[in-house]
Chains A and B, each alone.
Chain A
């Protein structure tokens, strides 16, 4: 029986009934399995709807009301006023708030900077880890340290290292003569975003490196041998063999990181106390909701955050599918 099943096509391997049985019986087994599958998935789906779907719908609902955080039961419908409203020649709502647009700019800038730096350093790190050398295990363990450290601890640690008077970063820069006077990393608006980006890159490069390393290790080494015989140099080998082969994994890792960076909140909240120069869209929405108790406005901002993130995700998926189709067409 077992050697028999190996010669069957993969689709038949799922249907395990012996060939001697009637085809009707076979279908009913699959049908029964499909029905049972729904039962097995149901608990997870119901729970997921309760803790994610329902709250999401309620947030959308509240974004059309003027509810306050302490009395969410009392509300009036205000239509789209939380988003944008015009009264007496002036505009109100989240979309008319300069701080919202500042937060949008901050978040996009943070995402672009940190993810591209992570990709660059992650690639270098993955290429390094892909080489064979003694003490590899130690390096492998060391790069897991930043990943393992809780984000809040990362924020506090870097906050202390970026301290304008006693921080290690300024001390090292001064010692190496790179700066003349200590920099106010956290307080200076032009520098604070870089402080956030540096801390985030430090924490997340390991994740990127591990993803890329897993992809690198799947490339058969004879490809490189062949290229070397043909006289390809290191850059050509990277450009023509490594990059195309790890591209799918790289895109997945990129999507993961972009989605993660777009919802950044905790790092900024602790490192720079949600200052205007660094506040993210998530931080803005939460501030409206919790600090100002404006449940309606906060919900509207949350919905906008959701739509923005979903829009960017959709773009990514579309580009990904598009490039896949292009590849298939070429082949």
Chain B
């Protein structure tokens, strides 16, 4: 049987839409399921049902208040913001030099930074533990700001460097001809147009810091200083066998929605940032 061109086109369309549908469902379903679970209590939890049955909003109240997830949301926001702020501040000048100036050792610095951004966190764990103790930061938010810099800083330097490279040379040339110093070039010429790249890089680094688990689990022991991932990881019920799934899922949904909102709002930027770090590197 020979298909006409039109029929073949139609067949192709069909498969594309089917695949798109499957992809969409697989991507969103686990989160949808989490939302469903977060609205159930007691016995309803154990009846598998794919549509919303009841709306027990008290799970959310419970998760935010009693389980201290509300508090840890604040902690996470604080830690991630301060870490990203420090890292961006330090990276702007470094990225400028690495992207725009030819000097000996530049390649080695870039390579080192790339290596540091990839090495396993556990490799610095005991040394970092000692450093945190020495600085008297154990069990405080400060310990996380310090330790998160380990992976945030190389990341921000790397991504900003790739962004800086893509800016036109003429900008700088004109400024140099006018006799501007490097400092003036950075603060007056580059900083104003770096806004979008800074936002993208900052967002990605923020998400990274928001999601970090190992350092937060190791350096914080008191409930009120916990960050979101640890607070969720530690949610326990009366016994190991009756985990409060309703509460856990409510807390999970609460901490995920801000991130999903951010990601969807800045979709284009995030995708360009993600690929800038890798494709050009």
Inter-chain contact B177/A289, CB cutoff 8 Å: no
Inter-chain contact B27/A58, CB cutoff 8 Å: no
User: Which B residues lie within 8 Å of A289 (CB)?
Assistant: 125-126, 129
Inter-chain contact A150/B210, CB cutoff 8 Å: yes
Q: Is the C-beta of A331 less than 8 angstroms from some C-beta in chain B?
A: no
User: Which A residues lie within 8 Å of B126 (CB)?
Assistant: 55, 58-59, 62, 289, 295, 298-299, 302
Inter-chain contact B24/A259, CB cutoff 8 Å: no
Q: Is the C-beta of B202 less than 8 angstroms from some C-beta in chain A?
A: no
User: Which B residues lie within 8 Å of A62 (CB)?
Assistant: 126-127, 130
In angstroms, Cα B261 to Cα A199, docked, is 22
In angstroms, Cα B232 to Cα A302, docked, is 26
Q: Is the C-beta of B122 less than 8 angstroms from some C-beta in chain A?
A: yes
Residues 104-162 of A contacting B (Cβ, < 8 Å)? 124-125, 128, 131, 133, 135-136, 138-158, 160-161
Inter-chain contact A152/B233, CB cutoff 8 Å: yes
A1-30 near B? 1/0 per residue, CB < 8 Å: 110010000000110101000000000001
Inter-chain contact A5/B104, CB cutoff 8 Å: no
Inter-chain contact B131/A282, CB cutoff 8 Å: no
In angstroms, Cα B123 to Cα A211, docked, is 28
A51-70 near B? 1/0 per residue, CB < 8 Å: 11011111101100000010
Inter-chain contact B23/A142, CB cutoff 8 Å: yes
User: Which B residues lie within 8 Å of A168 (CB)?
Assistant: 33, 48
User: Which A residues lie within 8 Å of B125 (CB)?
Assistant: 55, 59, 285-286, 289, 298, 302
How many residues of chain A are within 8 Å of chain B by beta carbon?
100
Inter-chain contact B31/A59, CB cutoff 8 Å: no
In angstroms, Cα B255 to Cα A263, docked, is 24
Q: Given that A36-B182, A151-B213 are known contacts, is A253 also in contact with B109, CB under 8 Å in the complex?
A: no
Q: Is the C-beta of A226 less than 8 angstroms from some C-beta in chain B?
A: no
Q: Given that A44-B157, A152-B211, A270-B233 are known contacts, is A303 also in contact with B24, CB under 8 Å in the complex?
A: no
Q: Is the C-beta of A241 less than 8 angstroms from some C-beta in chain B?
A: no
Q: Is the C-beta of A47 less than 8 angstroms from some C-beta in chain B?
A: yes
Inter-chain contact A14/B102, CB cutoff 8 Å: yes
Among B51-59, B60-68, B144-152, B192-200, the stretch that binds chain A is: B144-152
Q: Given that A41-B97, A214-B275, A298-B126 are known contacts, is A286 also in contact with B120, CB under 8 Å in the complex?
A: no
Q: Is the C-beta of A224 less than 8 angstroms from some C-beta in chain B?
A: no
Q: How far is the CB of A210 from chain B (nearest CB, A)?
A: 6
Q: Is the C-beta of A256 less than 8 angstroms from some C-beta in chain B?
A: yes
Which of A40, A69, A165, A210 contacts B182 (CB under 8 A)? A40
User: Which B residues lie within 8 Å of A18 (CB)?
Assistant: 177
Q: Is the C-beta of A269 less than 8 angstroms from some C-beta in chain B?
A: yes
Inter-chain contact B256/A153, CB cutoff 8 Å: yes
B150-168 near A? 1/0 per residue, CB < 8 Å: 1001100100000000000
Inter-chain contact B149/A160, CB cutoff 8 Å: no
Q: Report the interface size class on chain B.
A: 35 or more
Which of A54, A151, A165, A252 contacts B229 (CB under 8 A)? A151
Inter-chain contact B116/A128, CB cutoff 8 Å: no
Q: Is the C-beta of A227 less than 8 angstroms from some C-beta in chain B?
A: no
Inter-chain contact B259/A150, CB cutoff 8 Å: yes
Inter-chain contact A156/B102, CB cutoff 8 Å: no
Inter-chain contact B210/A309, CB cutoff 8 Å: no
Q: Is the C-beta of B10 less than 8 angstroms from some C-beta in chain A?
A: no
Inter-chain contact A265/B122, CB cutoff 8 Å: yes
Q: How far is the CB of B21 from chain A (nearest CB, A)?
A: 9
In angstroms, Cα B281 to Cα A150, docked, is 25
In angstroms, Cα B236 to Cα A156, docked, is 12
Q: Is the C-beta of A229 less than 8 angstroms from some C-beta in chain B?
A: no
Residues 265-279 of B contacting A (Cβ, < 8 Å)? 267, 270-271, 274-275, 278-279
Q: Is the C-beta of A101 less than 8 angstroms from some C-beta in chain B?
A: no
Inter-chain contact A34/B278, CB cutoff 8 Å: no
Inter-chain contact B218/A263, CB cutoff 8 Å: no
Inter-chain contact B93/A16, CB cutoff 8 Å: no
User: Which A residues lie within 8 Å of B153 (CB)?
Assistant: 44, 47-48, 51
Inter-chain contact A160/B147, CB cutoff 8 Å: no
Which of B116, B130, B182, B279 contacts A211 (CB under 8 A)? B279
Q: Is the C-beta of B26 less than 8 angstroms from some C-beta in chain A?
A: yes
Q: How far is the CB of B63 from chain A (nearest CB, A)?
A: 12
Which of A135, A202, A253, A305 contacts B20 (CB under 8 A)? A135
Q: Is the C-beta of A191 less than 8 angstroms from some C-beta in chain B?
A: no
Inter-chain contact A51/B147, CB cutoff 8 Å: yes
Inter-chain contact A153/B264, CB cutoff 8 Å: no
Inter-chain contact B24/A139, CB cutoff 8 Å: yes
Q: How far is the CB of A25 from chain B (nearest CB, A)?
A: 13
Q: Is the C-beta of A223 less than 8 angstroms from some C-beta in chain B?
A: no
Q: How far is the CB of B169 from chain A (nearest CB, A)?
A: 6
In angstroms, Cα B129 to Cα A55, docked, is 8
Shortest 9 CB-CB contacts between residues of A and residues of B:
A55-B127, A58-B127, A263-B120, A44-B94, A34-B103, A266-B213, A37-B97, A55-B124, A306-B123
Contact surface of A with B, Cβ cutoff 8 Å: 1-2, 5, 13-14, 16, 18, 30, 33-34, 36-38, 40-41, 43-45, 47-48, 51-52, 54-59, 61-62, 69, 72, 124-125, 128, 131, 133, 135-136, 138-158, 160-161, 165-166, 168, 171, 202, 206-207, 210-211, 214-215, 249, 252-253, 256, 259, 262-263, 265-266, 269-270, 281-282, 285-286, 289-290, 295, 298-299, 302-303, 305-306, 309-310, 313
Contacts A/B (CB < 8 Å), 6 sampled: A16-B173, A44-B153, A55-B125, A152-B229, A270-B213, A305-B120
